[in-house]
Amino acid sequence: MALNPIPDLLDALRESLVGVTDGQVAQYIPELAHAEPGWFGLALATLDGHVYASGDADRPFTLQSVSKPFVYALALTDRGLDEVVSRVGLEPSGEAFNATRLEPGTGRPPNPMVNAGAILTTSLVDDGFPRILAGLEAFAGRVLGVDERAYESEVETGDRNRAIAYLMRTAGSLRADAEQSVRRYFRQCAIQVTARDLAVMSATLANGGVNPVTGVQVVTRDTASHVLTVMATCGMYDFAGEWLLRVGLPAKSGVSGGITGALPAQLGIGLFSPPLDERGTSVRGIAACEELSARFGLHLM
């Protein structure tokens, strides 16, 4: 792939989509409602450590569900694949991110990308939030902060996630304290990143677990591969099938408007644009990924 056209292409892509006014900024976490609908940042990180960026690529926002695959990587590291899979399923649920359905019989959440699975996954990481923050910092290659207002906002309003955690407690699948698990999950969702960070984080997965900017081996090659697989099948919830058909890349969305995507052995993509579709995915983010995939021939299939 020729490298020079990338900055121009990102600028042109941004220009062509910045006028899209579809979608709504998330309201159900009150702090997220302050986002400007016009914010739009794009970044692309290649495995030789170059990061190309356009627009609001350095504007901080909260990770929200984009945290899920990276925390899953940490749980796999701490507990091993077999234990994690025995606790959290691997099947696409075809349901919304906040669905309450658990696997009949076992009470396992369907996969680690929906809220139920993410809350359980978070409880499997050793040493609590400091380890989660340090792990995500290693993926991003820099020190990250927590947006305390976004965290408090979700602590105050996140009763649906509490309900999901208590359902998992009664089903026997969540063994840790429900409130503590939910708060740890809210805190991971409130970690602040930029589109540039998201590109580097996915590039780390694409690069067999080695951060291409810092050179640090963050997780093993196997773990990176497992995480990318789950992103491909479950990362977009009830849009996962259509996403894979249209974009053809493992990816993860979040309700603050972030999307991270990876082309294994090639690159990582970071997108930020707050207006969301009805499934909680960035409208411009989807369009930009479709266009990037088509222009660069990134589709895996």
Catalytic center residues: 65, 68, 185, 237, 255
In the complex, least distance from residue 280 CB atom to ligand DON, rounded to whole angstroms: 4
Residue 22, classified by CB atoms within 10 Å of its CB into exposed (0-12), middle (13-18) or buried (19+), is: exposed
The angle that helices 115-124 and 159-171 make with each other, rounded to 10 degrees, is 70
The smaller minimum CB distance to ligand DON, of residues 270 and 280, is found at 280
For CA atoms 272, 156, 128, 231, give the dihedral sign. Answer: negative
The smaller minimum CB distance to ligand DON, of residues 122 and 207, is found at 122
Cα separation, 41 vs 57, in Å, equals 4
In the complex, least distance from residue 36 CB atom to ligand DON, rounded to whole angstroms: 18
> In the bound complex, which residue of the shown chain has the CB atom lying closest to ligand DON?
65
Cα–Cα distances in Å, from 32 out to 29, 149, 172, 199, 220? 6, 10, 33, 22, 34
In the complex, least distance from residue 154 CB atom to ligand DON, rounded to whole angstroms: 6
The SS3 of residue 247 is coil
Binding site residues, ligand DON, CB under 6 A = 64-65, 97-98, 115, 154, 161, 189, 253-255, 280-281
The smaller minimum CB distance to ligand DON, of residues 52 and 185, is found at 185
**Residue of 249, 204, 296 lying closest to 13 (CA atoms):** 296
Cα–Cα distances in Å, from 221 out to 49, 124, 207, 210, 211? 18, 20, 8, 8, 12
Q: Binding residue per annotation — 237?
A: yes
The smaller minimum CB distance to ligand DON, of residues 23 and 212, is found at 23
Q: Binding residue per annotation — 65?
A: yes
Q: Binding residue per annotation — 28?
A: no
Distance from the first to the final alpha carbon of the chain: 18
In the complex, least distance from residue 203 CB atom to ligand DON, rounded to whole angstroms: 21
Q: Binding residue per annotation — 111?
A: no
Q: Binding residue per annotation — 154?
A: yes
> Annotated binding site for substrate, which residues?
65, 115, 154, 161, 185, 237, 255
> Annotated binding site, which residues?
65, 115, 154, 161, 185, 237, 255
